[in-house]
Structure 1
Amino acid sequence: MTVVERPRALADQIRPEPSFGKRVGHYVRRHPGGVLGSTLVLLIVLIAIFANQIAGQDPTALNPAERLAGPSAAHRFGTDNFGRDLFSRTVHGTRISLGVGFGVSLAALLGGIIFGLLAGYYRRLDAPLMRLMDAVMAFPGIILAIGIVAATGQSIANVILALGVVYIPRVARLVRSVVLSVREQAFIEAARAIGVRDWRLLGRHILPSSWSPIIVQGTFVFAEGVLGEATLSFLGVGPPPIYPSWGTILSEARPFIREAPWMMILPGIALTVTVLSLNLMGDGLRDLLDPRLRRRA
C-alpha cells in the first residue's frame, strides 16, 4: 500500500457521525411502532386542546329523561346513568388524564433528579437517600397513593402529589446510576481539579449527560400516571366526581355493565390507546436516543 493509499484507507474506516435527520429517517424505517405512538399521542393532545369544539355538549349537563340511552344521532355513544352524554365526557376526560399524567411525570422527574444527583454525587448521602427510596418502593404503589390522597383530600393536585411520590424512586435510582458512572470520567475530574463548584458540576456537566434516559423514563411515568389516575378514580379516591375522569366514568358504568355496556366501551378504549401510545413513544425515544443505534445509522 502506498503512502497516499494508506490515509485514504484509514479514512474509509472512520464513519462520520450521522446527522440528526439521518437518525430520524433510520428511526422511522426501523421503528414504525414509535412513529405510530408519537402520532397517536399528538392526536390525543389535539383532542384535549380542542375538547370543547369536538365534544359539542356540556359533559356535566344532566338529563334524567334520557338516562341510559343507547347510541343515537343526538348522543353518538349513548348516555350514562344521569343522562350525561358519554362522548362529551370521554373527550373532556382526555384533559384530566393528560393533565394528571403530565403533572405526575413532572413531579416524579423533579424529585427523582434531585435525589438521584445528590445520592450519586455525594457518597455520604448515597446510603440514606437510597434506603429512603427503598422504603417508599416497599409500599405497593396504589396503596401508598390511596393513603396519601386519603390524608390530603380528594383533588387533582393531591392525586398528582400522591402518584408523583410513588414514582420518584424509579427516577431517582435511574439518575443515580448515570451519575455514578459520569462522576468518575476524566472531564469531571479535570473540572473538579481546577476548582469548579459542585453545583456547577452537577448542573452544567453531570445532569446534561443524564437527559436521554431521563426523557425516556419520563414518557413511561407519564403513561403510568394516566393509568394510576384512572385506577384511583375507579376506586373513588381520585379527582372529585364533578370532573369527567375516565376512571370515574368506568366506575359509574360498572353497576350497569349488563344493562348499558356502551358506558364502558369508549372510555375503556380511550384509556387503552393513550397508555399504549405513550409506551410506544417511549420505546421509540429510547431507540432514537441510544448511541449504539446512532452508530449503526
Structure 2
Amino acid sequence: MRASRLVTLLLLLQNRGRMTARELAEELEVSVRTVYRDVEALGGAGIPLYGEAGHAGGYRLVDGYRTRLTGLTADEAQAAFLAALPGTAAELGLGEALATAQLKLRAALPAELREHAGRIQERFLLDAPSWYDDVDRTPHLAAVAAAVWELREVVLRYRRWRAPEEIERRVQPYGLVLKAGRWYLVAGGPSGIRTYRVDQIVELHCLDEEFTLPEGFGLAAHWNRYLADFRARLHTGEALVRLTPEGARRLGVTPAGDGWTETRVPIESIDHAHGEFLRLGGDVEVMAPAELRDRIAATVRTLATRYAG
C-alpha cells in the first residue's frame, strides 16, 4: 500500500511541479505527517526532491528529473491502452500526439507489460458511433476543442429543432462530452450553462477574449446533474398497452405467458409515443390514453387506405 502511495506522490510532483504537504495529503487522502514521512523515504531512496519553506513553498523535484513508468501493474498498463481511443483523438486533432504518447509509454514499460498492452490493442476496439451515424458531421469539433483548451469565448451559429431554427450565441466553452458517439459542448452564456450538440454548429468564430471557469464548476458533476434532470423530464406520462410475447421482448417487459401481456409503460409525450408504438406494428395495442389510441388508429386507417390498391 505504501509503495503504491510513494509512486503516486512521485508522479504527482512530476506532473504538477511544486505542491505543498497539505495539497499532497488531500490528493493521497492521508495526514500531513504521513506526507512528511513519505517525502523523507523518497529522499532516502535517492529521488532528487527538495522542500521550500514559506507561503509559496512546497515540495518539488529537481528540474529535469523524470521517472520511468515501471511502477505500472499489468492491469494499469492494459487500462491505459484501452482508454486511449484513436478515433476520438483523431476527431480532436490529437491522433498523431496519441500515437506518439503510446509509443513513449510502450517504450517505458517492462517487456512483460509491453506484451499485455499490445494484446489489448489487438483484441479490443471501441467504435462509438451508431451504425447509421454520419462520422463526418462535426467539422467544427477541433476548433471547439481548441477554444475549450485555451478558455476563449466563441460566437457560434447553431441549428436547433424549434423556431427560430438557427440562432447565434456568444458563449464560454467550459468542456466537451462524448456521449453515445455524439459530441456535446457545455458552455456558459447570458442565460446560464447550456448544452449544444457540436454537429449542429453551423458556423463558429473563436474570439480573443479569455474567461475563467466558474468557481466550483466540475464538468463530470455538471454532466451527471444534466443527465439526471434530462431523465426526470423525459418520461412525464404513461400508457396502458397490450403486448404480444414479441412486443414484450422488444419493450423489455416480462411476458405474462404465451398470450397477450397488459402493462403500463412510461412515455415522453403523445407525439413521441405515437411513433415509437407504430414501430411495433401488430405486436402492440394501445388501450390508454384515448388521445394516443385515436392517433394510432387514424394513422393505421390512412396506411390501410394508401396501400389498399
Normalising by structure 1, report the TM-score.
0.22
Larger Rg computed on CA atoms: 2
Normalising by structure 2, report the TM-score.
0.21
Higher relative contact order (CA 8 A, sep 6+): 1
